[in-house]
Amino acid sequence: MTQTRYENIERFPVALDGIIFGFDRVNLKLLLIKRDFEPEKGKWSLMGGFLGPNESLDQSASRIVNQLTGLRNVYLEQLHGFGEIDRDPVERTISIAYYSLINIHKHDKDLVQKYSAKWFPIDNLPELIFDHDKMVKAAKSRLQYKAARQPVGFELLPEKFTLPELQQLYEAIYETKLDKRNFRRRILTMGGLIKTDEKQKGYSKKGAYLYRFDKKAYKKQDSLNNGTNMLFKPPNG
């Protein structure tokens, strides 16, 4: 007879929590939602939901992000499992955290309002429920690591951007001021950054040139460097 269930095994709910980052050209931000059920109803929470019976973890995480933001095919990466016994006061719940990078300018504002979601600067977050602050800290560390080695940071920018905006993004990610000359030298020699003929006014009388990121060009350059093409050397790294 085929066994359909493991016997004498406790079963626990599996939650998926999403740490959703955005960048508004000035600040790195986190998208939070007010929890609409007990416990901790009305308090700020990460985007989350429970694993469906016929879903993989990745499928569930994508579904939850789509339901709460309206976005599909966003950069989404599994971060870590959180399973402290008392992390949820109702019952033991295992949470698998994912982090996502979203172009904040393309975000569906109607859906944000529908779910009472709000963008908060990463350095000025409200008190979060359960162990969500630990999840945010872990996601931030992962973002810093990945942004130095892969072009994930460009997921947070509009299609065209200035070098000052790009530097502002890296300063927001690493929470430190960067030398303008050294930053530009590093970022322009990585490959994949294409200068357009357009300018954005506001940075100087002449305006700042707009750039765009070409993933194919970056991958080609990275392959020539045998996969060692580091986008940016992080402070103290």
Could you read off the pLDDT of 136-167 as tens digits, one per residue? 999 999 999 988 888 888 889 989 999 999 99
For 33, 61, 154, 183, the CA distances from 118, given in Å and listed in that order, are: 6, 19, 22, 31
Q: What percent of the chain has pLDDT over 90?
A: 53
Query: How high is the mean pLDDT of the chain?
Result: 87
Residue-range domains of the chain with CATH: 14-149 (3.90.79.10), 158-224 (1.10.10.10)
For 234, residues 6+ apart whose C-beta sits below 8 A from its C-beta are 144, 145, 147, 148, 174
Predicted confidence at residue 161, as pLDDT, reads 93
Question: Across the chain, which distance is largest between two alpha carbons, in Å?
Answer: 79
Could you read off the pLDDT of 33-61 as tens digits, one per residue? 888 888 999 999 999 999 999 999 999 99
Which of 20-29, 50-59, 212-221 comes out lowest in average pLDDT?
Answer: 212-221
Q: Is the pLDDT of residue 203 over 60?
A: no
* Structural contact between residues 16 and 93, judged by C-beta atoms closer than 8 angstroms: no
- How many whole angstroms separate alpha carbon 29 and alpha carbon 21? 6
For 5, 164, 181, 189, the CA distances from 31, given in Å and listed in that order, are: 38, 24, 32, 33
pTM recorded for the entire structure: 0.88
Higher model confidence: residue 115 or residue 172?
A: 172
